[in-house]
Amino acid sequence: MPAPGAGSAGRAGAGKTTGKGGAMGESGSVREALESAAEFFAPRATRAAVLARRLVGRSRAEDANLTEHLVRELRRRSRIDGSIGGSLVATAWAAWELMDLGCETECAGLVRMIGYVLAQQDRPGHFGEGCTPDRHEARECHHFVTGFLSAGGQDFELAPLSLPTGATFEREDEARLAASCFALRSVLRAGEDRREAVRSHLSALLASPLAADPWATDRNPDLFLLMLGAAGQGPIETRAELGPMLDTVVGAQQRDGTWTGTSTFHALGMLARLPDERVQHVATRAAPHLCAIQRPSGAFDPTDNEEWALIATRTLVLAAGTPG
């Protein structure tokens, strides 16, 4: 059950295409890439385009009306229960989009969507449900971490699950954990860390073996990055725990600016909004790769994926030293 707008590339595929190239590491190449991205987004009437134009200082007079229209469309898609098609992932993404478009926590549409997501906490089908000797020994059952958000009962298969950031989860247990972390990211951004159940879940999740260094173990880097991205939206006291996790990601970044075992866009999408100065260092190291894979159209992959182009644009803006 892919999220709306999700890409088809998996853990090793997204961000590995070849493009128009550029002078690696030169600030001029970053400026040229941003100019090309601005041209790519200029005629488009989407949320990604509105945000990208804002990032590069090319907002149009009609963007205000367009934003209102996009918000109305998102709200219109929601059911009475606040969900988008009864999907945890789709609802969490729609809530994220509303917040991107300026909806505050008191916005009725956002309140209903986040309310639906929160109602799925500890519901049947969540990751960690039940217990086996192996899972108990690994501390990956409900005896150790509670509060996971359920994407639905075990009577249907969630995997393969693709996220808009370019990560795809093929295993059922990983897909359910990914769905919960993806939804938690929206819940925390919406300010719901005031709920004790949400705060305790986040703290226990970050303290669990699930948050162990994936590049030193056999764990999935995409899941680690989702946890990091969610924690970055949490309360200030929780953000203090980001340091070691972010150090892990910085240390795993390769010389070409990418990471093994994960989509480059997914990694950058989770990192770009973290409140930490090291993120700009990561963006600077990733910029030459993004300049190299950018296509003549201004996009960053053969399908002209707007979400990936937005992530790349945000990263390049950070690399240029003018975070938006």
Q: pLDDT for 130-164, tens place per residue?
A: 777 777 777 676 777 889 999 999 899 999 999 99
pLDDT at 258 (0 to 100): 98
Chain segment 204-217, per-residue pLDDT in tens: 899 899 999 999 99
pLDDT at 74 (0 to 100): 97
The pLDDT of 98-111, averaged and rounded, is 93
CA dist., res. 67 & res. 87, Å (int): 24
The pLDDT of 81-102, averaged and rounded, is 98
- Residue 26 reports pLDDT greater than 80: no
* Of 241 and 250, more confident: 250
Cβ count within 10 A of residue 302: 11
Q: Which residue spans within the chain are E strands per DSSP?
A: 161-162, 168-169
Nearest to 121 by CA among 185, 163, 180, 199: 180
pLDDT at 324 (0 to 100): 44
Q: Cis omega before residue 160 (within 30°)?
A: yes
Nearest to 157 by CA among 128, 180, 125, 182: 125
Q: What are phi and psi of 12, to 5 degrees?
A: -110, -5
Domain annotation for the chain: domains and CATH numbers? 27-319 (1.50.10.20)
Residues 6+ apart with CB under 8 A from 205: 145, 147, 181, 184, 211, 227
- Residue 8 reports pLDDT greater than 50: no
* Of 10 and 125, more confident: 125
H/E stretch holding 198 reads helix 196-207
Residues 6+ apart with CB under 8 A from 27: 320
CA dist., res. 227 & res. 74, Å (int): 26
Q: What is the mean pLDDT of the chain?
A: 89
Where residue 302 falls (left for φ over 0; alpha for ψ -120 to 50; beta otherwise) is alpha
**Does the reported pTM lie above 0.85?**
yes
User: pLDDT-based confidence at 16, cuts 50/70/90?
Assistant: very low
Residues 6+ apart with CB under 8 A from 54: 63, 324
pLDDT at 3 (0 to 100): 38
Residues 6+ apart with CB under 8 A from 258: 15, 16, 264, 267, 286, 289
Secondary structure string (H, E, C) spanning 251-279: HHCCCCCCCCCCCHHHHHHHHCCCCCCHH
CA dist., res. 160 & res. 1, Å (int): 7
Residues 6+ apart with CB under 8 A from 168: 8, 9, 10, 11, 160, 161, 162
Tell me the pairing of strands 161-162 and 168-169. antiparallel
- Weakest mean pLDDT among 11-20, 72-81, 218-227: 11-20
The pLDDT of 45-68, averaged and rounded, is 97
User: pLDDT-based confidence at 129, cuts 50/70/90?
Assistant: confident
pLDDT at 250 (0 to 100): 96
**Cα–Cα separations (whole angstroms), residue 299 to 30, 34, 38, 66:** 14, 10, 10, 22
Helix, coil or strand: residue 291: helix
Residues 6+ apart with CB under 8 A from 235: 193, 199
> In degrees to the nearest 10, what's the CA dihedral of 301, 307, 312, 315?
-170
CA dist., res. 311 & res. 34, Å (int): 12
The total number of residues written for the chain in this structure? 324
